[in-house]
Amino acid sequence: MTRRSLLSSLLLPGLLRSAPPLKLRRVDTLHFPKGHDSAPFWPHWTWLRLVTDSGLEGIGETYPRTAQEAEMIHSTLVPMLKGRDLRDIERIWTDFYQTFDYQIAGGTEIRVLSALDLALWDLLGKALQTPVYQLLGGKSNPRVRLYNTCFPLRHDFLTDSDKIMREVKERYGISAIKVWPFDQAARRNGGQFVTQADIDEGLAPIRRLR
């Protein structure tokens, strides 16, 4: 047990008593993108939305297999949540986990459980009108820097890194991007070695950014 988990476990019961019971009215699954793949490696996101009888909504997110995740949510998760008090996050989490804990802890089950956990905490925070980070022991950083993951949808990072950086900064105010400058070298060399030419090639787009 960490100091953070101890604080949250001590504070949470008192806060829970101030929130009314949260009963499920409806579960929605929302998908993005719809109808087509933006790129062959582009994941599809699934959002799980829990709607209570009082109209509060909790949102959770997972990816990348929308059909599998949605099927498990509606066939397994929804029946398990009916009649439950959604404030009982740990009990619900454990019950759902134990429905598949004899299997390998991965894949669709864990992805759905992740979305459920996020949605339940989001719901509780809204019910208590309290930021979720406060329920988990308070913030550890005043700010978190936002960065863009550089998928090559319109531009190739290796040749157009300056265009990508300019676009995300001007349109969204983002001043950092995540890149993979040495992936080509790894594919060529089987991940076994890197040459000076590989290093120079990988650093070239980064130098253009600066």
Q: Kindly give the confidence (pLDDT) of every residue in the chain, 210 residues in length, as a single tens digit, with 9 standing for 90 and above.
A: 565 565 556 666 666 667 788 999 999 999 876 554 455 556 678 999 999 999 999 999 998 878 888 999 999 999 999 999 999 999 999 999 988 876 656 688 899 999 999 999 999 999 999 999 888 888 888 888 998 877 666 777 777 888 888 888 899 899 888 888 888 888 898 889 889 999 998 898 888 877
181: phi then psi, degrees, rounded to nearest 5:
-75, -15
Domain count, the chain: 2
Which element (helix H / strand E) includes 61?
A: strand 57-62
Q: How far apart are CA 110 and CA 88, in angstroms?
A: 19
Of the candidates 135, 156, 178, which is a domain's last residue? 135
Residue located via tokens 């995540």: 178
For residues 32 and 131, membership in a common domain is answered with: yes
Asked if 176 and 87 sit in the same domain, the reply is no
**184 in a structural domain:** yes
Q: How far apart are CA 80 and CA 88, in angstroms?
A: 13
Domain boundary among 135, 161, 188: 135
Sign (positive or negative) of CA dihedral 165, 170, 171, 172: positive
Residues 105, 55 share a domain: yes
Residue 92 sits in the same domain as residue 164: no
In a domain, 143, yes or no: no
Q: Which contiguous run of DSSP H or E holds residue 172? A: helix 157-172
Structural domain includes residue 54: yes
Same domain for 131 and 188?
no
If DSSP codes are grouped into helix, strand and coil, which group holds residue 46?
Answer: strand
Question: 209 in helix, strand or coil?
Answer: helix
Chain-centre distance for alpha carbon 74: 20
Does 23 lie in the same domain as 112?
yes
Same domain, 129 and 155: no
In one letter, which amino acid is 65?
R
On whether both 70 and 121 belong to a single domain, the answer is yes
Check whether residue 41 and residue 104 sit in a common domain. yes
142 found inside a domain:
no
Alpha helices in 30-142 (DSSP H): 66-72, 78-81, 89-97, 108-128, 132-135
Count of alpha carbons within 13 angstroms of residue 198, beta-carbon side: 15
Cα(20)–Cα(16) distance, integer angstroms: 8
Nearest to 66 by CA among 46, 80, 87: 46
CA–chain centroid gap for 28, Å, is 17
Do both 32 and 118 map to the same domain? yes
- The domain that contains 76 carries what CATH number? 3.30.390.10
pTM: 0.75
User: Range of 23's domain?
Assistant: 3-135
Within a domain: 121: yes
Sequence length of the chain is 210
Neighbours of 98 (CB within 10 A): 9
For residues 113 and 61, membership in a common domain is answered with yes
Q: CA torsion angle for 195, 200, 206, 207 (degrees, to 10)?
A: 160
Q: Check whether residue 131 and residue 51 sit in a common domain.
A: yes
In a domain, 58, yes or no: yes
